[in-house]
A and B are shown apart, each in its own frame.
Chain A
Amino acid sequence: GEQVEQRPPHLSVREGDSAVITCTYTDPNSYYFFWYKQEPGASLQLLMKVFSSTEINEGQGFTVLLNKKDKRLSLNLTAAHPGDSAAYFCAVSDTNAYKVIFGKGTHLHVLP
């Protein structure tokens, strides 16, 4: 079955610096890709989702890149601020799966 590996497990950056979180997956049929954010003591909230037909998706202050050849998904924060401190989880599913497979998470700490 699908396996998702997420790196790094912990990441500390200074305010204004960039931060990159990467996930690799194994199933070539994977089609939908997600990033969820979990603030301390809170639940998970969808940050962004990417379809296999798109490779770049941008939000406010971050970019999601999908490299289908290398089966790699990355979340790039361009200028981190303390409010970005949270756990981030990637998730992957195929076109017919009810199950979404999560990475183990990255705890991002943005220092002021």
Chain B
Amino acid sequence: EAAVTQSPRNKVAVTGGKVTLSCNQTNNHNNMYWYRQDTGHGLRLIHYSYGAGSTEKGDIPDGYKASRPSQENFSLILELATPSQTSVYFCASGDWTGGSAETLYFGSGTRLTVL
């Protein structure tokens, strides 16, 4: 079964601090995604990746960086965290290979609070 693991589950950070959210998938999927979920906004795409070494900007990339050092791992980095980045962050992997629909497999989420 598809497995996407996020860490940490909960994180409290201070304004201006650096935060790294980690995601690991054992699905051997090429595509990985970072979303944030906020009340009234649903899920919004921050960054995504086609495979190891690639990162692409999503719809709301400002204030975030991403890193995909391997097929399995995809990190989201907040270099200078701000209170507006308080949210629940979801990582997902996708099985799209062209010619069919991509199902996304989500991790359990990371609740980030920036004070």
A binding-site residues for B, Cβ under 8 Å: 6, 9, 31-32, 34, 36, 42-46, 49, 51, 89, 91, 93, 96, 98-100, 102-105
Contacts and interface: CB of A to CB of B under 8 A. Distances in A.
Contacts of B45: 99-100
Given A98-B48, A98-B94, A99-B48, A34 B101 contact: yes
B84 interface: no
B48 A89 contact: no
Interface stretch (B13-21, B61-69, B70-78, B105-113): B105-113
Interface of B: 31, 35, 40-45, 48, 50, 56, 58-59, 90, 94, 96, 98, 101-104, 106-109
Contacts of B103: 34, 46, 49
Nearest to B35: A102
Given A44-B104, A89-B43, A102-B35, 7 more contacts: A9-B40, A43-B108, A89-B42, A100-B104, A102-B44, A104-B41, A105-B43
Given A49-B103, A51-B101, A93-B102, A43 B90 contact: yes
B40 to A, nearest CB: 7
A90 B111 CA distance: 23
21 contacts: A32-B101, A32-B102, A34-B101, A36-B104, A43-B106, A43-B108, A44-B43, A44-B104, A45-B106, A46-B103, A49-B101, A49-B103, A91-B104, A93-B101, A98-B31, A98-B48, A99-B48, A100-B94, A102-B44, A104-B40, A105-B42
A32 B102 CA distance: 8
B102 A100 contact: yes
A3 to B, nearest CB: 11
Contacts of A99: 45, 48, 58-59
A90 B101 CA distance: 14
B23 to A, nearest CB: 12
A102 B31 contact: no
